[in-house]
Amino acid sequence: MGLSGVHAEVFGGLLDIWSGGDPQAVLDLVTVDYRGHMLYLAAGERTAAQYPDWIRAYRSANPGVVFAVVEQTSAEDRLWTRVSARRPDGSVAHGVNISRFVGPLIAEEWAVWSGWLP
């Protein structure tokens, strides 16, 4: 498996965590100096240490959401992913995530999401 395949696998593991996995497990997928830039949120910057709590807060506000990769491509140390999030009531949000990797770990992310659509 090439590096882009490893990156896709790591990102898939990240979505599994957001979809119900152990939030602490995210720390196995990101670098110690990870930075996340959530461009749609006023307070959208997160560190690796804060990441598990972001997942918990999101799940609390959006119980039962399941994330899926819609489309994905990579180049060198970057992975671009179109993502969907589906609530149990059928509403869906669409996002774009750019992940920068250092080796097999996510070092930085940029994400933009739509609002919930029926």
Strand partners, 85: 67, 93
Residue 118 included in any domain? no
Task: Give the Cα separation of 69 and 8 in Å (integer).
Answer: 10
- Report pLDDT for 48: 97
Residue 107 lies in a domain: yes
Tokens, residue 69:
């990769």
Mean pLDDT across the chain:
95
Query: Where is pLDDT greater, at 82 or 41?
Result: 82
Contact 59, 66 (CB under 8 A): no
Is the pLDDT reported for residue 63 higher than 80?
yes
Domain range for 83: 3-113
State the CATH number of the domain containing residue 25. Answer: 3.10.450.50
Prediction pTM value: 0.93
| Average pLDDT of span 97-116 | 97
Contact yes or no for 109/37 (Cβ under 8 A): yes
Q: Which of residues 41 and 20 earns the better pLDDT score?
A: 20
| Average pLDDT for 20-31 | 98
Q: What's the structural domain count of the chain? A: 1
